[in-house]
Structure 1
Amino acid sequence: MLNSPHTAPDAGPRHVAIIMDGNGRWAQARGRPRLFGHHAGARRVREVVEACPGLGIKYLTVFAFSTENWKRTQAEVAGLMSLFRRYIIKETRTLKENGVRVRFIGDRVRLDSKLTGLMDALEEQTKDNDLIHLTIALNYGGRDEVARATKRLARDVAKGHLCPEDVDEETLTRYLDTCVLPDPDLVIRTSGEARISNFLLWQSAYSEYEFIDTLWPDFTAAELERLCRNFGTRDRRFGAVLA
């Protein structure tokens, strides 16, 4: 099982979502190709996953590849797809043995069959795990997710399975990729950028955000612990006025 020297902060986040940004810049600063940074970033994911139990984090969602990332060079996209395949093959046994349940969110249509086959297999092999729920957003975009969910909802309305008058926020939530997950309590973006980049738009309506300068390959479990402790100091009112 996973172990961590870090202790869970009081009232820490149960679900943390991370926009893992800065891999390319990290590599370029060292005179290396961008893919070198992506490989370093993939190794960082393991450390963060291992730190989660000790910090009271039950759900971890990471943004691996966005619907907009196809605009990158063909060489970088091909390298990333190869990295995803290698990551799954390399980490499956460890994830399974360490109680990590893995899910993928995003549109799989554009992904190659070998990769989606590995994704399906990893989900199947870890489906009974419950220590940590690791969700990997791959070919994911928040607007795309809502559009796909709306199409599925509309089909059910057209078939008579759902009345238009019954559609509300809770109804749409059931059609999202994340329907079985709680909304994130804390969203972290690394690399100094202060934007959400189409990530979990619906789910993060009341999430707390941390925009930090650290590039993703330099992000550590200690920094995650600091951010979780900072989260515990925030007054979360969800639109209400507390007495």
Structure 2
Amino acid sequence: ARVLAQDASAAAAAADADAAAAELRQLELNLQYMTITAPISGVVTAPPVEVGELVGPNTPHVVELADFTTLVVETDVPEGRLGLVSVGGSAEMVLDAYPTKRHRGKVVDINPRVNRAKATVIVKVAFADPIEGILPDMSARVSFLSGEIDPATAQEPPKLFVPGSAVVERDGEPVVFALSEGKAERRRVTLGPSIGDGFELVEGPPDGTRVVANPPEAIDDGYPVAERIE
């Protein structure tokens, strides 16, 4: 009878050990569920959830990460000019935060859908060189190039460009007609070397000024102009 009692006690102890091991495995599994591993290396760009908050499948996000080494610039390209852009083509980018610094880029994606409301297509341009100090959602201006620029040229300050179609001669000097409140405004310009289908603007209207393309002979200061975006 004593032997049977000892066997029963040993069996009960073994059962308790198995139950404890099973509970340990479940606790370890639960602990794994509480550890979230990011799928990428990156920088936290939004505050994570607070300690004690409940999260689940319907939680929008636990933490927001950004991989700053793979940032791209998204720009709207008018559909009338889409034929000038191709995947793999070269581009140059200047960020509003760093207006004196140029960045080389490559077109990596052209959205297959046209935004009919704006008549534009989203084009993504990747940085060709290592980037520093660039943050998500910064604003940038993109110029699509016919050829690649070398790294040394990219280190030079950005140059202003004026389309050749906007430059005409008046009184023996080159001028452009800027658009101001629906009217033309004559501006004298000093031109540098030709760049593609235009010229480097050494002196003239400031960056961002809208100019009249192919101005007629009759145009002068105050001439009414209707803006057309192509």
Q: TM-score, normalised to structure 1's length?
A: 0.19
Higher helix share goes to which structure? 1
Higher strand share goes to which structure? 2
Q: Which has the higher contact order (CA 8 A, sep 6+)?
A: 1
